[in-house]
Amino acid sequence: MDIRFSDLLIQPRHKAIALLEDEYKRTGDVPTLRNSNLLLLDIGAWKSAKCNCERIIEESEHTHDKDLIEMGMVDWFTGNISSAIDSWRKAIRAEYTDAIGAIDGPLILWYGGARLGDDRLMRQSLKKLERFWKVKDYHVFSEWPGTSAIAAFLLDKVPEPVFLNKWKWENLENRRLCRAHFWVGMRRLDKSKDEAIRHFHAAFSRNKIAILEYEYFLAKWEYSRLTGEDWNTLGSQPNQV
């Protein structure tokens, strides 16, 4: 059976998860397990997601930074903060990373430092992010320059209006907007809770394809934390992709 993940996103979550679990049992395909894990995270099935994370890491030929980031998120969402930070630190040293190499580890460590009020962790993360942005003038880019754009934003190398609205990512704009809105929300958090909430909501609610970005889950988490709304009522139902 050929299962397209985009097709599953318009189906009820539990039905889609069951289809992916059956497919994994039939094929032992790790990418199928990864897709199933995204849907488990979306409905807040933390115990099952944690088991899946462990299985994915065990069965993968190489360690992937996104697998470790997801493992850390499950721990973070369930209050195991030290384990989360440990997984996120390991993500920096993973064998398989983003095309530009291990940028997401420092990014999510910056998030952890910001939420914990750990200035040392934030400084360490920013120092690592400096090597991903060597451009003196952001104007050389007319479009979204990939994940390095987030490093530039956190390093104050690009203004928010350009980062959020001017740069576009052809064919992947909904995923870019998820990422951009989340990080803008994090930067706004100390200044305006209402503005942060607005950006977090935009990050996870605009289009379900954003579930492919880890910022989708972090945005849901922050929105739930700030508003008191239950995680399972927030965008866990299928919508347009």
Domain ranges for the chain, please list them.
133-241
pLDDT band, very low/low/confident/very high, at 241 (cuts 50, 70, 90):
very low
Which pLDDT score, from 0 to 100, does residue 236 have? Answer: 54
* For the chain, percent of residues with pLDDT exceeding 90: 80
Mean residue pLDDT of the chain comes to 91
Amino acid making up residue 224? S
**Could you give the CA distance from residue 218 to residue 226 in angstroms, rounded to a whole number?**
12
**Could you give the CA distance from residue 215 to residue 217 in angstroms, rounded to a whole number?**
5
pLDDT in tens, 152-201: 999 999 999 999 999 999 889 999 999 999 999 999 999 999 999 999 99
b/e map 202-223, b = 16+ CB within 10 Å: bbbbbbbbbbbbbbbbbbbbbb
Which pLDDT score, from 0 to 100, does residue 239 have? Answer: 46
pLDDT in tens, 39-98: 999 999 999 999 999 999 999 878 889 999 999 999 999 999 999 999 999 998 877 655
What is the number of helices (H) and of strands (E) in the chain? 13, 0
Question: What SS3 class is residue 186?
Answer: helix
Average pLDDT, stretch 214-241?
83
Between 229 and 98, residue with greater pLDDT: 229
Q: Which residue, among 141, 168, 173, has the nearest Cα to 157 in the 3D structure?
A: 141
